[in-house]
Structure 1
Amino acid sequence: MLRLLVVLLLLTAAPAMAQQIEDRLADPAQEMRARELSRELRCLVCQNQSIEDSNAPLARDLRRIVRERVVAGDSDRAVQDYLVQRYGEWVLLKPRFNAQTFLLWLGPVLLLLLGGGIVFALYRRQARAQVVAPVALDADEQRRLDTLLRDDEVGK
């Protein structure tokens, strides 16, 4: 029974052991920069993970490229530009604001304003529909109203 438990524990730990430990940079400041940059870059295989969090072979290659560029002395922007040139804007987890991505950045605000405008217009239309303009009474209706009002005053 104990052996079975040990085997099960080892099997559940297998995915954790599969993660390869990469070569870390000797300079802790450069290593920290490389990790920060890796958190801002999308794994092109996993798509919703950064290359820092992904175990995909392509993510490992991208982490290696980031480290090489950091060691070479490139700025953060230069490293990102290099990867964008090579893989496109999709590689950035937080796309830059430019002519190609302005709808991505401003789209939610525009949709919110459009939705608010539609709700406002519908509310105003409904409010106008509820306001009923007074209609003038013809002579017969006016006589009946006067009679009712007189009878009401007499009954008090």
Structure 2
Amino acid sequence: MSVTVWTPLLLLLLLWAGPTFQDKNMRVSAYKGIGEMCRYNSECQSDCCVTNSLNPQKFCTAQTVFLECVPWRKPNGFLCEENSECHSNCCIRTSSSPGLFCSSKTFFMQCISWRMPEGAVCQHHLECWSLCCLPLSENNPSSRCTKRTGLLALCLPI
């Protein structure tokens, strides 16, 4: 075969091999595959560079059916500061301790925070299961969770 026939074939093979660039005398593929470490979406073939665990390092991942890049989120029981950190999208207080934790939503898709029982010291109505936080007496400035009273079950002082 002549040289003129081999030249187009060689060019086709080079183009098929994929785009490359030179970086400090190293030949590196321009796009990274699924599972490779990355910093930016543009580095990945999938155009998705997200976290996939508690480790803050990002990795190339596949896009969803809706062409979205969805980062890993914390499962139930992990400490959190805001809803978006959790897989359930629900970051709430789950016990008497002041910390917030990822928790599942109710059957009606609500995030309902743990509330204190009757008699517990409180500062606001929303802290109590009864939604009623009142001072025990005029002389005692500390408030406690109390039962709702009256025909309409209102939060009324005794």
Give the alignment's TM-score, normalised by structure 1.
0.22
Structure having greater relative contact order (Cα 8 Å, sep ≥ 6):
1
* Between structures 1 and 2, the one with greater strand share: 2
Q: Return the TM-score normalized by structure 2.
A: 0.22
